[in-house]
Structure 1
């Protein structure tokens, strides 16, 4: 009976890490985990942020902005029922700097958990 469990457990533990990017002598890997600026649009508010051009604005200056840890589920972290039961768009923003030595390299973003739909905007700044 013990032998029947050995192979499935070995396969599970050896196959799972192969799905993620791994750092090596050719590839560097950085994580964007941490605290992100977070703004919630009104409940079923349509496309308020898209229509008003929020992508080009500093979300930290918004009256209803806060910080939210990533990765996490914002619905589980808030204390208000509006956030817990929110249906609609939410905005995350993080400023990330790419070192000059890496500016000519190819950069790939990998999202480990996005529910339903996401729009990603990356804009170069000076």
Structure 2
């Protein structure tokens, strides 16, 4: 391959990959604009790993139905981060299984007043599988997409 053609692929490759993801239903990283308002949820979140034998205690006891701290001890966990690298606790460092994060957020008033307002939750670094539960965040009739 010629150097000019190679340089063209280096420049166009990421752009074409982004387009391919968008066409497959993926979402490009949103940018703040006059018509798009962003709210970052970075910071400290309440966190707990499900250390039960079957790793399903959180689902069985429905930890998502009440504040996480009411169903047992939690840690303050920075987001974004890798929970395996934050503490010095060996069983968390080597943990594989369900973990629970919880964060309360105040949404801009205009997001909750208009049921036609489209609100999209973008999770940047959930690996493998994620379940998202929303409680009391939206006005009646409003759907989180």
- Pairwise same-fold verdict (TM > 0.5): yes
Matched, 1:99 2:108: yes
Moved more, 45-54 or 12-21: 12-21
Distance 1:43 1:63, change over 3 A: closer
Unaligned runs of at least 5 residues, structure 2: 20-27, 139-145
Question: Does the CA-based 8 Å contact 1:43-1:87 persist in structure 2?
Answer: no
Deviation, structure 1 residue 63: 4.1
User: Hey, what's the Cα distance between the residues in 1 that align with 2:53 and 2:93?
Assistant: 14
User: Hey, what's the Cα distance between the residues in 2 that align with 1:64 and 1:79?
Assistant: 17
Deviation, structure 1 residue 79: 0.5
1:124 aligns with 136
Distance 1:125 1:107, change over 3 A: closer
Unaligned runs of at least 5 residues, structure 1: none
Distance 1:110 1:44, change over 3 A: farther
Q: RMSD of the TM alignment (CA)?
A: 2.6
How many residues are aligned here?
Answer: 126
Question: Does the CA-based 8 Å contact 1:43-1:88 persist in structure 2?
Answer: no
Partner SS state of residue 73, structure 2: coil
Taking structure 1 as the reference length, what is the TM-score of the superposition?
0.81
Moved more, 3-12 or 77-86: 3-12
Deviation, structure 1 residue 121: 0.3
Structure 1 runs of 4+ aligned residues shifted over 2 Å read: 1-19, 43-46, 60-64
Moved more, 88-97 or 57-66: 57-66
Taking structure 2 as the reference length, what is the TM-score of the superposition?
0.72
Moved more, 114-123 or 39-48: 39-48
1:30 aligns with 39
Distance 1:44 1:15, change over 3 A: farther
Distance 1:17 1:91, change over 3 A: same
Deviation, structure 1 residue 25: 1.1
Moved more, 30-39 or 100-109: 100-109
Q: Whose relative contact order is higher, 1 or 2, with alpha carbons under 8 Å and at least 6 apart?
A: 1
